[in-house]
Amino acid sequence: MTQARQPLLEALRAAHVRLGLTAVFAAGLLLTLVSFLTLRTHVEQNVSLIARSIAYSAEAATVFNDPASATEVMTSIAAQEGLLSAEIIRGGGAAPMASYARERSAPVEAALAHVGTLLFPLQATASITHQQAEVGRVTVHGNGGVYLLFLLEVVVAVAACMAAIGWWVSRLSHRIENDIVNPLNSLASLTRTARTERALGLRALPAVVKEIHTLGEDFNALLAEIQSREADLVAKHNNLKTANESLSFLAFHDSLTGLPNRASFLQHVSRAAFASRGRASKVAILYVDSDNFKSVNDRLGHAAGDDVLIETARRIRALLRESDVVARLGGDEFAVLLAPIRSADDATRVAAEVAAALREPVQSARFGTIESSASVGVAVFPGHVDTVDELLLAADAAMYRAKTRQPGSYWIFDPALDAQAGACMA
């Protein structure tokens, strides 16, 4: 079972989000806790200060036992500071000499005050002294709702900071995507394209991150090296192909005239004979042999003989169809495959044209006019012979009868008149 692999971008984003949220949450929690503890200390100090302030202001009224003045002083300060309640007890008495209670507030405000009472130390006492003797005691209860609202403002500010930090983390994540993930994805896509499509000319773009840029440069160098080696291999392959084609050509062609050789000619004959079976068409072979080639070589040299052979090949090829084949069998011997033909008359017509064309003197740039002629033998399959192997022998026998009868002419094979041919094929 193949394990599902997480993309790099998702892995980095997940890690970044986890790290960012953890850091933001920890920072927000710590900041909130510090703010709460600081506010709690401030509340405690503030309530104690209010109690001392009332004690100092109500000292005279307490000494002279003036409840009205004490109440007036205490109410003024308590209302200004937003206290829930306050009272002054004179001497060691149990009943308060003066008291203050805030008017009943709305349900929401009362709920906030109740919650604030649970979170903050809102009660404080202070002694009223006169001539270093305690003459009374002040007890106050602060309004927790005020401090709770302040704490909520702090929490909102912390949340805003956390949101800003989260936004910055998101920006960093996008920057990582642009600087790291996108170049890596581009490099991976480039690698895949180079591998599947053999697009070795592609190159990685420069990257911001040094390591990724170095990786891209190394990859570009590797692609360039592979491209260079592949070009060398292609060049070597083309050279080998050319050499093989040249060797193959030389194996089946004559190097002087460029015509097919004996082996190639026999293959053409076999294919043509096989194609004619079951059809009305026939195939014919013209066997062509020079009448005075040896004397040309003896008088003028082999270079002159080569000129005669080349011109002989050109003249024969000019008289044939595209489907016909002319080959040099060796020395001054040529053979022509006529396929397909309708009857032996087609073969004799071409043989007459070949014999007439070869009777014309050869004009050599090096040796001038060279008298030359050739005798042509004709054999047809099926008709003259029963097998393809006998066809070339029959045409050869007919050529010898033409050469014996009249050099420079043609002769069509006839076993009844050619005992030598019969003996050769026996």
CATH number at residue 385: 3.30.70.270
Last residue of a domain, one of 113, 134, 163: 163
Task: Specify whether 295 is located in the same domain as 343.
Answer: yes
Task: Specify whether 218 is located in the same domain as 272.
Answer: no
Q: CB of 338 within 8 A of CB of 286?
A: yes
Domain count, the chain: 3
Catalytic residues: 332
246-268 tens-digit pLDDT? 666 667 788 899 899 998 999 99
Q: Domain for residue 55, yes or no?
A: yes
Q: How far apart are CA 175 and CA 171, in angstroms?
A: 6
- As a whole number, mean pLDDT of residues 111-121 equals 73
CATH number at residue 111: 3.30.450
CA dihedral 257→261→267→268, nearest 10 degrees, is 20
The model's pTM is 0.48
Q: CB of 368 within 8 A of CB of 314?
A: no
Does 243 have pLDDT greater than 90? Answer: no
Identify the bridge partners of residue 359 per DSSP, sorted by sequence position: none
Q: Domain for residue 189, yes or no?
A: no
- Greater model confidence, 84 or 68: 68
Task: Specify whether 237 is located in the same domain as 288.
Answer: no
Q: Domain for residue 177, yes or no?
A: no
Q: Length of the chain, please?
A: 426
Strands (E), 203-313: 282-290
Averaged confidence pLDDT in the chain: 83
Three-state SS letters, 348-381? HHHHHHHHHHHCCCEEECCCEEECCCEEEEEEEE
Last residue of a domain, one of 252, 282, 316: 252
Angle between helices 144-176 and 8-57 (to 10 degrees): 160
pLDDT band at 172, cuts 50/70/90?
A: confident
Q: How far apart are CA 103 and CA 124, in angstroms?
A: 20
Q: DSSP labels for 152-210?
A: HHHHHHHHHHHHHHHHHHHHHHHHHIIIIIHHHHHHHHHHHHHHHH--TT--PPP-SSH
Task: Specify whether 302 is located in the same domain as 382.
Answer: yes
**Residue reference for tokens 């006998």:** 390
Q: Please give the pLDDT value at position 419.
A: 44
pLDDT band at 230, cuts 50/70/90?
A: confident
Q: How far apart are CA 52 and CA 128, in angstroms?
A: 8
Task: Specify whether 404 is located in the same domain as 287.
Answer: yes
pLDDT band at 79, cuts 50/70/90?
A: confident
pLDDT band at 105, cuts 50/70/90?
A: low
Buried b (16+ CB within 10 A) or exposed e, 11-37: ebbeebeeebeeebeeebeebbeebee
Does 173 have pLDDT greater than 80? Answer: no
Q: Output phi, psi for 401, to 5 deg.
A: -65, -40
- As a whole number, mean pLDDT of residues 84-93 equals 82
Token representation of residue 114: 């109740």
Reference 141, options 188, 192, 179, 86; nearest CA is: 86
12-to-7, 8, 23, 30 alpha-carbon distances in Å: 9, 6, 16, 26
- Greater model confidence, 126 or 278: 126
Task: Specify whether 266 is located in the same domain as 237.
Answer: no
Task: Specify whether 399 is located in the same domain as 341.
Answer: yes
295-to-182, 304, 372, 399, 410 alpha-carbon distances in Å: 85, 11, 10, 19, 21
Q: Please give the pLDDT value at position 421.
A: 47
Task: Specify whether 246 is located in the same domain as 326.
Answer: no
Q: Domain for residue 387, yes or no?
A: yes
Task: Specify whether 270 is located in the same domain as 247.
Answer: no
Three-state SS letters, 291-309? CCHHHHHHHHCHHHHHHHH
Structural domain of 288: 262-425
Query: Based on the number of CB atoms within 10 Å of its own CB, is 320 exposed (0-12), middle (13-18) or buried (19 or more)?
Result: middle
**Residue reference for tokens 């160098």:** 221
Q: Output phi, psi for 134, to 5 deg.
A: -75, 125
